[in-house]
Structure 1
Amino acid sequence: MRQQRTSRVLIAGIAAVTLIATACAPTGAPSTSATAAPSEQPVAGGRVVVGATGDPKTMQPVLSADTTSSGVWNWFYLGLTRANYKTGETEPNLAEKFELSSDGLTLTYTLRDNLVWSNGDPFTGDDYKYTAEAVMRSEKTVRRSTFDNVEGAADYRAGKTDGISGIQVSNAGKTITIKFTKVFCPATAAMGGAGAGGMLPSKLFKAQWDNKTTDTTKKIDDVPFNMNPPASIGPFIFKSFQPGVQVTLTKNDKYFRGAPLVDELVIKNYADATAIKNALMVGEVTYAGVNPSDNDEVSKNDALKFYRYKTSAYDYIGWNAKAAKAPWLANVQVRQALAYGIDAPAIVNKVVFGFGSQVYAHTPPVSWAYDDTGLTKYTRDVNKAKQLLEQAGAKMGTDGVYRWTDGTPMKMRIETNQGNNIRETILQFAQAQYKDIGVQIDPLLESFNALLDRTQPGADYEGFIIGWSLGADPDPYSIWHSSQTTKDQFNDVFYSNPTVDKALLDNRNGPDCSQAARKKALHTVDQQLNQDVPYTFLFTRDSLTYADKKLQAFDPNTYSTLWNVEKWWLKK
């Protein structure tokens, strides 16, 4: 998912959004602070406020592709499974249990008893199937590839049938059976969210889009409920949205893990990460991730408790290989020159103050699939960068800017989201350091949503600074496979490499789905990305999270901030 720094989850940036939907495990013990004694009884009531630096693009998971949006809908739309907050292993959530057949071709979920939506409607397997079919008919989703190996999914998308034959609901809606045409290694993790991540209330949504149809012109993409969620299966219920101001949620008394103790949750919009930090310092925001540059100041606030985490997120500069105004970006030697042209270690030290580490490919160090063996460890080398540019055919101009093979000055735009202080600083680094290698950068700052819109796969952008927030089970198919370059898909740099395509499918479809085999396939992906550098991979950074000491039972961990949200309470 893109991160809005801090996934764009597509997971936006790490610091631009507070840790609402994702978080990571502490690398050491949190700072000591006054907490509730074991004998103290939790007190119900009160309001939790978190901060964001932009509005959600959507409030439903089928269309969601960024962490700002998922940071809203994750409070009320849940999956059948979830990642264990400590280990990342897939565990039951709305499902009571799940079972994958020995041949890997049948996955069965059994729902918990007595699940109900906040409006009293029963939650059933029909909600799962409706959500899956919404994904398959949507033209705006990035998630259809989840169903590539589900029987009947392609026929349903094409309008040949009025339902996905490979998804069957039985036992009065309590059992969901999914049939695959071939082994799908990430099945138990990937399918639990019906491809979207969370279930939609089908009975209510059907009034705006009916899934049981062969008319493919009708889809869920623009229905009013996408920005006005009608019911919740999660801990909080949508109440109101004031664009540019806040999203307000109220507790769901019917939440299956128990009604939250906190009455209200507000996701408040701020100008930038500094504004969120200032609000945190005066008690206006209950918890937030802060920029490393602010950590020293915030750590002196005795009203706050500190948590430091490793994350599954990383930042990068993406290079559009089909950029109309920068055709040189299609050349691998140019992209390698750009990797050598920027001082990523200095960014780690001077921008994230050492609270992170350089990355050289896609898989983050926190993942079980991480292996940096054989990867080129790019460091700044101006002479090598110029040498690579000249080997690619560029010639230095009298103005200190290289000319491409057609005589065009090598000038291009790099854009990022305004209000994300870290990314703005990276952009300043890039502008100054690329000038030293003879490449002129025109910087552009814009809102996060504008950045997402502008970098829809196409030719009208060159470079962009953004980040990914990744799930526990690594399946980067939708990001790197050459088929994922159409509108609203994640491969917005138009990366294409047959070795990577094959390795991505090996990771997905095995047939050997052992962790060792998948790790080997993903290492092949990382090695090739490291050489092809469709991104200038920059860094993963620790999450530096502070919470008001009044907030009790707050226990963010590697794979979830919200795992025990119903137990949060505010000490008086």
Structure 2
Amino acid sequence: MNTKKLSLSLAFFSLTLLLSACRSVEETTADKKDAQEEVLASEQVMHLTVESELATTDSVLVAENITFAGVNQFIEGLYRLDENNEPIPALAESEDISEDGLTYTFHLRDDATWSNGEPVTAHDFVFSWRRNVDPTSGAAYAYLFEDIKHASDIMAEKLPLEELGVKALDDSTLEVTLETPIAYFPSLMSFVSFFPQNEAFVKDTGDQYGTNSETTLTNGPFLLSEWDNGLDESWTYEKNPTYWDADNVHLTKITNQVIKEVSTGVNLFEKGTVDNALLSGEYAKQFQKDPSYTVEYFSRTNYLEVNQTDNPYLKNESLRKALALAVDREELTSIILNNGSLPITGLVPDHFVKNPESGTEFAEEAGEFYTYDLPEAQKLVEEAKAELGVETIELELLGDDDETSKRVMEYLQGELQNNLDGIEIKLLNIPFNARLAKAAAGDFDLISSGWSGYVSDPIIMLDVLYSTSSYNNGGYSNKKVDQLIDDAKGIHANEPLLRWKDMLEAHQIAVDDAALIPLYQKGEAMLRNPKIKGIHINSVGARYSYKNTYIIE
């Protein structure tokens, strides 16, 4: 099967290079046309506020959203995501895919260079990916490489790094061999962990690599400057004159300033000092009708995990469903959170992924499950108490100790205790890392948690329902769900419609089982300068791309 034919069979996942390339050209042309019809500002400098410092610029070690977004501006991989979360070619000028979907051959463009003048080669990807699976490297997202041939055995120290299924056939040809077909593989290639690294530079800088501007090598639309990890709460991206697509990069500079107080950000925005400001609470209410107000969505579902392994009460399906139906998600998102987050009754978020044939969002096709239904919740809790032979059920709700988490948990405590007779909820707020440790150990009754999609594919969300998943902290297990997930990853990996049906059915069964209790899809209310155009804002991955951004008068 040739590349075009296979790509078309996987159209939903935008695996067709031809279509992606055409789309890229069309978007670039559209951006340029917009820029020509509008009057460009004489100064193409954008001033951003961010919530926290850059942690590192070593793509192997990046582990949180602010740094993902940062690195995405000055380092580039095989693909990047467009504003619809779909992959478009970046360093990969073309690709070939084997008939069985197990071998990808990427042909790299020959005009991409590092900021030290050296060419970007296939060897840079081999080196970076081997670092990711090296068990001594501390790679933050090593598990994303598990489907590459021999990766799991290498991470388990059963095979040497050289056995990883990635080869540089020559300087411009990269061959990747998978253990199993991955329908969203090109999308995955846009993720920061898969970015290349220059071996000589990394080894020369040693443990200082990625700790400041001087020890960071870049190849993207911008260069990093004025940054020293641990010292700077501001830094700058400057246009990279040697970037292969520099003609389509309009901004000459982007300044970044860490602002942790909402009030400070709003004040700076109103003075015209910065071009964006995060909103929450009363500020979100105040600015909802302002032309600068916008909501940016994350492909993240926040939910309660329920311990179905150790807690005898939560093994009861009627009780789990009663808890799920007793929460008014509209009130939770509009009053308690009031930050652009959306109520959600299933696991897969909206603004995320669409049916390959109809174009309908997965969340819409899946339908609603646990809308607020107090009479049904009260009926089910009485059934649960009768089945369990108790009059009172005490549960501990565990969560983070930040202000937003505390507000959400206090609201949930009130909803469950006030709406359901005999239910008593004790709250325990602990630091983020401690909460993660308790979750991994299964040391909880109910725990406030969530999951984000790093590419636009339902399987990313459904993985937390797999019985042996390390992220299935509640111990949910359903053989049919496991089989459907296996089918979507295996026998139907190259058949988009059958794969879609597998995932819909797995989702239906698991949510019907009340495998977990969905609460809301994360959103961010934001003030953003309306004169700034062309920002690609993704609900997945690194979130922001400023490559095609420009400013009008």
- Report the TM-score when normalising by structure 2: 0.77
Counterpart of 1:182 in 2: which secondary structure? coil
Shift of 1:268: 0.8
Greater helix proportion? 2
Residue correspondence of structure 1 range 59-208 to structure 2 within 5 A: 59-86=57-84, 88-138=85-135, 141=139, 143-157=141-155, 158-171=157-170, 173-191=171-189, 193=191, 196-207=193-204
Asked if the contact 1:49–1:284 (Cα under 8 Å) also holds between the matched residues in 2, the reply is no
Asked if the contact 2:47–2:274 (Cα under 8 Å) also holds between the matched residues in 1, the reply is yes
Shift of 1:462: 4.7
Change (3 A) 1:106 1:411: closer
Asked if the contact 1:293–1:352 (Cα under 8 Å) also holds between the matched residues in 2, the reply is no
Structure-1 residue corresponding to 2:258: 268
Deviations 1:475-534 (A, max 9, x none): 32653333431xxxx444444433332222222223452321121111122113313334
2:459 to 475, 480, 492: 475
Counterpart of 1:457 in 2: which secondary structure? helix
Counterpart of 2:111 in 1: which secondary structure? coil
Shift of 1:443: 4.5
Structure 2 residue 441 is the aligned partner of structure 1 residue 458 = yes
Structure 2 residue 360 is the aligned partner of structure 1 residue 376 = no
Residue correspondence of structure 1 range 44-443 to structure 2 within 5 A: 44=43, 46-52=45-51, 54-55=52-53, 59-86=57-84, 88-138=85-135, 141=139, 143-157=141-155, 158-171=157-170, 173-191=171-189, 193=191, 196-207=193-204, 223-225=207-209, 227-228=211-212, 230-234=216-220, 235-237=222-224, 239-241=226-228, 243=230, 246-253=233-240, 254-258=242-246, 261-271=251-261, 273=262, 275-291=264-280, 293-299=282-288, 305-308=292-295, 311-321=298-308, 328-329=313-314, 331-351=316-336, 357-366=342-351, 367-369=353-355, 370=362, 372-373=365-366, 376-381=369-374, 382-391=377-386, 393=388, 395-396=390-391, 402-403=392-393, 410-416=394-400, 418-420=402-404, 423-436=405-418, 437=420, 438-443=423-428
Asked if the contact 1:310–1:543 (Cα under 8 Å) also holds between the matched residues in 2, the reply is yes
User: 5+ unaligned residues in a row in structure 2: which ranges?
Assistant: 1-33, 356-361
Deviations 1:50-74 (A, max 9, x none): 221x456654443444423423332
Counterpart of 1:160 in 2: which secondary structure? coil
Deviations 1:446-493 (A, max 9, x none): 4xx5467545612445544344442223332653333431xxxx4444
Change (3 A) 1:70 1:127: same
Asked if the contact 1:290–1:545 (Cα under 8 Å) also holds between the matched residues in 2, the reply is yes
One-letter code aligned to 2:457? D
Change (3 A) 1:91 1:67: same
Counterpart of 1:506 in 2: which secondary structure? helix
Shift of 1:41: 4.2
Deviations 1:355-375 (A, max 9, x none): 665323222233215155576
Change (3 A) 1:566 1:368: closer
User: 5+ unaligned residues in a row in structure 1: which ranges?
Assistant: 1-34, 210-222, 397-401, 404-409
Asked if the contact 2:304–2:517 (Cα under 8 Å) also holds between the matched residues in 1, the reply is yes
Provide the C-alpha distance between the structure 2 equivalents of 1:156 and 1:454, rounded to a whole number of angstroms: 25
Shift of 1:96: 1.2
- Number of residues of Structure 1 aligned to a counterpart in Structure 2: 496
Shift of 1:278: 4.6
Change (3 A) 1:116 1:197: same
Counterpart of 1:99 in 2: which secondary structure? strand
Provide the C-alpha distance between the structure 1 equivalents of 2:308 and 2:208, rounded to a whole number of angstroms: 36
Shift of 1:558: 6.4
- Report the TM-score when normalising by structure 1: 0.74
1:517 to 498, 507, 513: 498
Deviations 1:185-234 (A, max 9, x none): 2223224548x24333433333577xxxxxxxxxxxxx553654622223
Structure-1 residue corresponding to 2:514: 533
Percentage of pairs with the same residue? 17
Aligned-residue Cα RMSD (Å) equals 3.7
Provide the C-alpha distance between the structure 2 equivalents of 1:492 and 1:308, rounded to a whole number of angstroms: 31
Provide the C-alpha distance between the structure 1 equivalents of 2:126 and 2:296, rounded to a whole number of angstroms: 36
One-letter code aligned to 1:429? Y
Change (3 A) 1:244 1:237: closer
Asked if the contact 1:185–1:509 (Cα under 8 Å) also holds between the matched residues in 2, the reply is no
Counterpart of 2:235 in 1: which secondary structure? strand
One-letter code aligned to 2:154? Y
Change (3 A) 1:164 1:348: same
Shift of 1:568: 3.1
Provide the C-alpha distance between the structure 1 equivalents of 2:116 and 2:273, rounded to a whole number of angstroms: 31
